[in-house]
């Protein structure tokens, strides 16, 4: 599910964010979640030392950079 809030010239002081919670497959939205309850991504693979374990630039910690379920950006009720 994705959507934008408060976008446009008259809402410069409002929030601008996307709600991206579920997978698309073949162009169709599914009920497959993208995030675990702790905010970590469901779609990561194995951690390979030196390749995809670099804090701040690897997928394993993307929840920190995007504030997934943190810092006031909580999952919707029922997610």
Condensed to tens digits (0 to 9), the pLDDT of residues 18-58 reads 678 999 999 999 999 999 988 888 887 888 998 888 988 88
Specify the pLDDT at position 15: 55
Q: What SS3 state is found at 39?
A: coil
Asked if residue 68 lies in contact with residue 62, where contact means CB atoms within 8 angstroms, the answer is: yes
CA pair distance 55, 9, nearest whole angstrom: 35
The pTM of this model reads: 0.62
CA pair distance 58, 54, nearest whole angstrom: 5
Pick 16 or 21 by higher pLDDT.
21
H-run or E-run covering 66:
helix 62-66
């Amino acid at each position: 599910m994705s959507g934008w809030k408060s976008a446009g010239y008259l809402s410069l002081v409002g929030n601008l964010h996307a709600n991206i919670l579920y997978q698309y497959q073949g162009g169709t939205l599914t009920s497959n979640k993208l995030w675990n309850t702790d905010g970590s991504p469901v779609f990561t693979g194995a951690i390979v030392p030196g390749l995809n374990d670099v804090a701040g630039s690897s997928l394993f910690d993307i929840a920190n950079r995007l504030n997934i379920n943190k810092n006031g950006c909580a999952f919707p009720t029922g997610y």
